[in-house]
Amino acid sequence: MAQQERAIRTRKVILEAAATVFDEVGYEAATISEVLKRAGVTKGAFYFHFPSKGDLALGVLDQAVTTDGVEPQEVKLQEAVDTMLIMAYRLPREPVYSAALRLSVDRNSQRLFGTRWPDWISLLSALLGEAKERGEMYAYIDETQAARLLLSSWTGVQIVSEGLPDTYDLSTEVSRMLQLMLPSIAVPTVLSQLEVSADRSARLVAALPDDEAQDAAAPV
């Protein structure tokens, strides 16, 4: 393995260990020694990549916003839908995403590191803007407002369903949420073409390149 490749892999292993710890106990209670133990790398390698706990949190948050697995679609709105469905499938399976959400919601780490919600809103807003230009969306819908409300609802569905005593499948819940909201956004001819089922998220993730798919299929 080339030296650079090894460094990238080490960084990834450390970030996954950090995500698992942040996800389990939150930022405050997380300790570098616990992350170090789980990552199983040398102290030297560890501190080379992440000199402080804050660097670990920022590293996790930097991975939170992704469109991996979203393929170009004839209907642009489908790409926005796919972005949200894929994340709904991946979050319960990959600690980096649930850790990023926990860091974003926790007010102390929020104050220290901010959130990546503005990036999510920009990303969704750009997709909705293109959809609007193509006439897929009602012209009176503001794409930034709609992006903010979609992201907010997505986030709320994750937080509340995790806090309820019963178990809910996040893909199913997000699919239902989209089914309630999209008819107010997409014009009927486009709405009837959109695929919003929870099954779609699993299929999209299965089509990810090997190392990505491996992450996504990892047990919870």
The contact set with a copy of itself (CB under 8 A) reads 26, 28, 102, 104-108, 110, 114-115, 117-118, 121, 145-146, 148-149, 151-161, 163-165, 173, 176-177, 179-181, 183-185
Name the residue nearer to a copy of itself (CB basis): 1 or 220.
220
Q: Which long-range contacts (C-beta less than 8 Å, at least 24 apart) are formed by 115-123?
A: 115/61, 116/61, 116/62, 116/64, 116/65, 117/151, 117/155, 119/65, 120/65, 120/147, 120/151, 121/147, 121/148, 121/151, 122/147, 123/65, 123/67, 123/83
Distance from C-alpha of 68 to C-alpha of 140, rounded to nearest angstrom: 30
Tell me, what amino acid is at 108? N
CB of 47 to a copy of itself, least distance (A): 28
Distance from C-alpha of 77 to C-alpha of 151, rounded to nearest angstrom: 14
Name the residue nearer to a copy of itself (CB basis): 107 or 211.
107
Name the residue nearer to a copy of itself (CB basis): 177 or 205.
177
Name the residue nearer to a copy of itself (CB basis): 26 or 129.
26
How many residues make up the chain in this entry? 220
CB of 117 to a copy of itself, least distance (A): 6
Name the residue nearer to a copy of itself (CB basis): 7 or 26.
26
CB of 6 to a copy of itself, least distance (A): 35
CB of 199 to a copy of itself, least distance (A): 18
CB of 162 to a copy of itself, least distance (A): 9
Contacts of 209 (CB under 8 A, 6+ apart): none
Name the residue nearer to a copy of itself (CB basis): 83 or 104.
104
Beta strands in the chain (DSSP E): none
Q: What residue has token string 């209907």?
A: 75
CB of 158 to a copy of itself, least distance (A): 8
Taken in order 15, 119, 127, 188, the sign of the CA dihedral is positive
